Amino acid sequence: MSSTVANGLLSFDVHDEFGKPIGAPLQLLLSENVARLGRQYRVSAKAGVDDIGGSFPAGSYTAQIFARGYEVVREAIQLGTGHALRCKLQLKKRSFVRPGPAQRLAVYGLAPDGLSPLTVRGGERAVLDYRTWRNTRHFTVLRPQSVLDLKAWIGTPDTGFAGDTARFGPVQRGAGQDLEAIAREFIHGNSRAVPDFEAVIDEQLRARSLLILVPVFHFDDVVVEDGGVLEIGTGSSVFFCNTLTMHAQGVVRAAGDVRADIGICIQL
């Protein structure tokens, strides 16, 4: 990636907890913090290399450093034109424990009792729409009581961002502020960038409480056979399953905004 006048240089000096090079290949994902069509850049480095980076257009970014077996580290980056920025990072061994079905369902206030399997046969098209789906045991329609409910059910955890940097760019405050954009930042971005707007968003939510529904489809094991089509996102905000098994010619199609909460995905 060559340097240009409009670019800045960004590099990370990465070591483990003992100051040694990481014994696994490094991955850098750099995501631009803008309202729409943000650019993303990915850089790879070989195992044992302790330096990763490149030349990127000036702007506000969230940088994520990945290495197999280590916790992800995130940094807020403000890169200036013609500037060189170098950061030192320390990666710690991963201590992640995969949550079980009960823990994952608890986010929605649901229990794993009575989860049913679903098989989409070849030639079938199953559309997970709560308005037309016949078996009401397969879904639950949630009504949020606060913006924190929406963030937990369909939003993005703040742990995916660095500090209090806004995911979708600077937030307009004062006269002419865009509450829709602020709510988007709170729910789908970094709520730590707009904490003082929580009460205002909740007030707007209560005013529209009858119109805001979150249909959650919940299954045990889902199988999509060759020639079968499973469509999510139209009349479904969350698709939950323990396992999703897709045959080579099976299709899972997202027709709208939807959270796919899948324990294990198997492709045959």
Residues of the chain with CATH 2.60.40.1120: 7-90
**What pTM does this model have?**
0.86
pLDDT computed for residue 3 by the predictor: 45
* Whether the predicted pLDDT of 122 surpasses 70: yes
pLDDT of 176 above 90: no
Please state which of the four CATH numbers 3.40.50.2300, 3.90.1300.10, 3.30.365.10, 2.60.40.1120 is assigned to the domain occupying 7-90. Answer: 2.60.40.1120
pLDDT of residue 199: 95
State pLDDT tens for residues 27-39: 999 999 998 889 9
Q: Which neighbouring-strand residues pair with 259?
A: 238
Q: Which of 163, 155, 148, 162 is nearest to 197 (CA)?
A: 148
The percent of residues in the chain predicted with pLDDT above 70, rounded, is 97
